[in-house]
Structure 1
Amino acid sequence: MKASFLSLFAAFALLVGTAPRAETPPAPVAPAPKPSQVRVKNLRVTVLSTMLAEKGIGEWGFAALVEADGRRILLDTGYLPNTVLQNAKEQGIDLSDITDVILSHNHDDHTGGLVTLRRELSKKNPAALSRAHVAPGIFWSRPKKDGGEGNPMVAFRPEYEAAGGTFIEHTGPVELAPGVWLTGPVPRPNPERNWSSKGQVQSPQGLVEETIPEDQALVIDTDQGLVVITGCGHAGVVNILEFARKQVRSAPIHAVLGGLHLFRADEKTLAWTGRKLREMKLGHLMGAHCTGIETVFRLRELAGLQRSTCVVGAVGASFELGKGLNPLELAR
């Protein structure tokens, strides 16, 4: 594919309005297993779907390849069915040996490529993307006002299973590999409302406000500190980081990579978030997808970061332990 500059931005999210009468009940969090105390020595994270693209296809979505001590995991699958496949090919990345995919939450800009990826990659390796790690609530119905279904996972689930895939649901933190942790649903003690939907979800307690209760993140424990990878960060980046430090290790936050859903945040929210990130000694930030471009620049200042340690995420951009961020030329 001929290299081209592509920047595709979408603002389909709605402004946060008056909350419905009931809020989504907090998801039960299972006790965390005892950490292995193994720390990842080699880590590389490569963005395969986001809006900004120097080489490949940009879209309103997110996906990232995580390579930790030889273990390869895909976090989210982008929006359009073929985006991650094409961007991986453009980057010279073979995804067929990846068996595990993490779905951070139900939204189609993170799950849209799941079925296509499973079908296409399994032609080369029958085990490719055969296990999808999810959290409770991802399959709950999101009824639309017109009577339709607002949760794409309701349709994707039978298609993925028919293609030989299996969903693994996590009610709490789990160590997927030595030093590689999945948070499961994240408690929300801080009043972060990092979601845009005014919709509702059919929970076991009835129809309540849609707060994306299944939102989860990936945490990598390293000697330099914790590296946290988010899809949209709907649980709130501070909630996520505090939970990671509580469940995995009370360490500095070496890097945060992914979407933080702060593109509509006001100055008060950004100031509070930046202060918290600074307190946790954040070392690197790659704000992709729904973080917001201006938000990245504001957090760079507020969290005490530099141009080399705080960048806008782009397709093909990467973070490597010991080397830091490589945002590529367009976002450098």
Structure 2
Amino acid sequence: MMFLLRVLCLLSALISISHAQAPDHQVKRLKVTILSTMLADEGLGEWGFAALVEADGCQVLIDTGARPETVLSNARDLKIDLSSVRDVVITHFHPDHTGGLMTLRTEMKKQNPAALAQAHGATGIFYSRPMPGGAEGNPMIAIRPQYQASGGSFVEHAGPFELVPGVWLTGPIARKFPERNWGGSGKVRTPAGLVEDTVPDDQSVVVNTVDGLVVITGCGHAGIVNILTAVDSQFAHRPVQAVIGGLHLYSAKDEQVDWTGDRMKAFGVRYLMGAHCTGIESLYRLRARLGLTRQTAVVGAVGAYFTSTEGIHPGLVAQ
């Protein structure tokens, strides 16, 4: 049965590549499992992010962690088989989200040549980030030829795209609000010239479920309010059931966190699993601002997961 679901998933993905689809398909069964972040009940914690999306039998990997072996090791500890996953989303170019890509592709390819063979980034993911002294600050520039040599292919997205039925990429996010959730010191070489690096390639994943929208971010450099604003427009104001991933609020002032929480609440957020760069204290402040509880807003940990029918299973360390 699972094999049949995966075949149907691949066929649906091929159809979506050749035909733009309206966001009408709603996922009935969703599970999102964190595979890389700082906290861990078992396995390895690190400053990085990765998560596996399982939606009605289809699977998508979001990011690949920082160290080459972390996600591979954690998946094995959690008895998760990544060899059946074809699509991997790279939310943005930073090394704490891209460090495991080649290790995962190399290892999973031994079991399935199509494993993790399709990588999805947003426009700008291969822009040069010149560093002082002339070094290149974008690891994806070096990773791309290695990945292609392994038989993998990259797709750059300039806008929303349905990866598999009900699972969408946002593509680049318009910066309506000045959230400025990035370092602020880097430069990026764009077609318009060398400018401040606002991480223009930052994108998120949205799962359109029967219970509402589930938004998964890598770092949320575009700003979670900007992300939710774009998602709200694309999906005709459907309520947001859950936000999962990094929100880059670890160093934010209380006023910014409060502003963020108030606007997240307006989108109907019922669950929050803030991982990676969200910040533990910022997560707790968001929890209070959103009116959520220890059961509905937690710090994400390796092995923690969310299902659209049961909510958050936080593991032990995050309770």
TM-score range, shorter chain: over 0.9
1:320 to 297, 307, 313: 307
Q: Which residue of 2 aligns with 1:245?
A: 232
After TM superposition, give the deviation of residue 177 of structure 1 in Å.
1.9
Contact 1:76-1:103 at 8 Å conserved across structures: yes
The structure that is helix-richer by fraction is 2
Q: Which residue of 1 aligns with 2:260?
A: 273
Contact 1:136-1:171 at 8 Å conserved across structures: yes
Q: Which residue of 1 aligns with 2:5?
A: none
Q: Which runs of 4+ in 1 moved over 6 A?
A: none
The answer as to 2:250 corresponding to 1:258 is no
Distance 2:215 2:138 in 1: 26
2:280 to 293, 308, 311: 293
1:103 to 76, 90, 110: 90
Q: Which residue of 1 aligns with 2:172?
A: 185
Contact 1:181-1:248 at 8 Å conserved across structures: no
Q: Which residue of 2 aligns with 1:130?
A: 117
After TM superposition, give the deviation of residue 303 of structure 1 in Å.
1.0
Distance 2:243 2:152 in 1: 29
The answer as to 2:205 corresponding to 1:218 is yes
Give the TM-score normalised by the residue count of structure 2. Answer: 0.93
One-letter identity of the residue aligned with 2:192: Q
Q: Which residue of 1 aligns with 2:60?
A: 73
One-letter identity of the residue aligned with 2:244: L
2:73 to 86, 103, 111: 86
Q: Which residue of 1 aligns with 2:134?
A: 147
Distance 1:306 1:76 in 2: 28
Distance 1:107 1:245 in 2: 26
Q: Which residue of 1 aligns with 2:24?
A: 37
Deviations 1:239-278 (A, max 9, x none): 1011111112311110000000000110110111010011
Distance 2:164 2:79 in 1: 25
SS in 2 for 1:146: helix
Q: Which residue of 1 aligns with 2:271?
A: 284
Q: Which residue of 2 aligns with 1:196?
A: 183
Deviations 1:21-69 (A, max 9, x none): xxxxxxxxxxx94515110000000000001111000000000000001
Structure 2: give runs of 5+ residues left out of the alignment.
1-18
SS in 1 for 2:257: helix
Q: Which residue of 2 aligns with 1:112?
A: 99
Q: Which residue of 1 aligns with 2:6?
A: none
Deviations 1:261-317 (A, max 9, x none): 000110110111010011111100000000000000000001111110000000000
Q: Which residue of 1 aligns with 2:317?
A: 330
One-letter identity of the residue aligned with 2:310: K
The answer as to 2:108 corresponding to 1:121 is yes
SS in 2 for 1:67: strand
Contact 1:171-1:185 at 8 Å conserved across structures: yes
Aligned residues: 301
SS in 1 for 2:183: coil
Contact 2:21-2:162 at 8 Å conserved across structures: no
Give the TM-score normalised by the residue count of structure 1. Answer: 0.89
Q: Which residue of 1 aligns with 2:48?
A: 61
